[in-house]
Amino acid sequence: MKLMIKASLATLFVALHCLTFSLAAQTPMIPDTPAGHTMQAWLDAFNSGDRGRLEAYFKKYDPDKSVDSELNFRNQTGGFELIRIAQSDRLRVEFQVKEKAGPTNALGKIEVRDADPAVVVRFSLRAIPPGMTAAEMNVKIDAAARARVVDGAVAQLNEFYVFPETAKKMAEAVQTQLKSGAYEAISDGDDFAAKLTEDLRAVSHDKHLGVNFSAQVLPKREPGANPTPDPATLEQRRAQALKRNNCAFEKVEWLPSNIGYLKFNGFADPEICGPTVTTAMSFLANVDALIIDLRTNGGGSPEMVTYICSYLFGERTHLNDLYNRKEDKTTEFWTRDVPGPRLAKQPVFVLTSKRTFSGAEEFTYNLKNLKRATIIGETTGGGAHPVSGHRIDDHFMIGVPFARAINPITKTNWEGTGVEPDVKVAAGEALEVAKKMAAEQIKKR
């Protein structure tokens, strides 16, 4: 009997040992390297969903990131489960994760600075499209591909970039880099796109300009090329995606002292999202002051900038102009007729951060120079050139700024400088400052 008990205990011990080993084997070990430590810190903070922990992580490791955007992303994904470490060295780690709230897998890369703390130099997270595998996402490029991409980028810049002389300087810079062998060691598509973007921006300082890589084959637009979906189908998909995201409108609130608060994170197509704007403005129609929060707004459609601005003026007003270099044409943007009530007399406060960019900067710049709003927060990102995408080859495309804003009052724009706030405070403090200023103005009326 004792022998049987001992045998059973031994069997149980082996089974438990195997189970422990199996569970350990299923949980990938994050490398004990500076890059690995930063990755662990990000994954822990992200999965916690806690604003305080994310703020602490970004403050230490990645200060240019937005906590609000990351929290929104965390809520969409439910956090991430680490599937595997694909590749690792001291200052870089590549990995695969799966979202907890859905079936999507993604490939990530974290590259850090050789310092303490190991601050993020580059972070990317790319979803694996349906029908593709992680292995198929690993597209390697050779010397011929690098030369082709450089030549294609140069051709698009020379044809479309808003400043022809700057386009020539950028072309010379990347062609010199290619001939010198500076790109020879780069075989990863994402890395090459990032390096080209860095080299082009080093000349132009244009934050809208960028080369992008796609593991999926990019569709061709030439006649007789890859079949493309029906335009009506594409439009329907785009509309569905925008509506699913509530057209980037995050919050509309009534605050004490009869102050309205509106937060949205992008300027979507007014043909699709105009009704969302109208609904929000109708809700706020009777407030005595309005706070518009653009601290996490990355821009979008100039037409939507005009559409929203139109609710803030009682008379037709000249807002902005755009000059298109290739067409040698200037388009004027004036307030337009919009449905529903207007908030033309209420004091307006616009909240900004260093992440406020592009179309959100135009909105802010328009209202500031027309003296229609008080700007509170941080100087914005400094991108005033609209951009269009151009295919280079099966896997690379380039976003080329093709026009420049010309404000009818200043005769210039905010490119490279950003929009200076009227009241400079840290972005995190801007809302409270705006509430106090709004309440004070309401009392004086």
pLDDT value at 225 more than 60? no
Residue 343, helix vs strand vs coil: coil
- SS percent in the chain: helix, strand, coil, step 5: 40, 20, 35
Q: Mean pLDDT, the chain, as a whole number?
A: 91
Contact 108, 120 (CB under 8 A): no
pLDDT value at 105 more than 50? yes
Which residues, at least 6 apart from 158, have a Cβ–Cβ distance to it below 8 Å? 164, 167, 168, 171
Q: How far is CA 297 from CA 284, 292, 293, 367, 369, in A?
A: 20, 11, 8, 16, 20
pLDDT the model gives residue 11:
53
Residue 105, helix vs strand vs coil: strand
**Location of structure tokens 């009530």:** 341
In angstroms, rounded to a whole number, what is the distance separating the alpha carbons of residues 294 and 381?
A: 12
Digit-coded pLDDT (tens) for 144-158? 999 999 999 999 999
Name the fold adopted by 26-136: Nuclear Transport Factor 2; Chain: A, (3.10.450)
pTM of the model: 0.84
User: CATH says 248-383+418-444 is which class?
Assistant: alpha beta
Which residues, at least 6 apart from 293, have a Cβ–Cβ distance to it below 8 Å? 251, 261, 262, 263, 264, 351, 431
What are the boundaries of each domain within the chain? 26-136, 143-213, 248-383+418-444
228 band by pLDDT with thresholds 50, 70 and 90: low
Q: Which of 255, 253, 271, 274 is nearest to 263 (CA)?
A: 253
pLDDT value at 10 more than 60? no
Is residue 158 classed exposed, middle or buried when 0-12, 13-18 and 19+ CB atoms within 10 A define those classes? Answer: middle
pLDDT value at 16 more than 70? no
**Location of structure tokens 């595997």:** 84
Element (H, E) at 406: strand 403-406
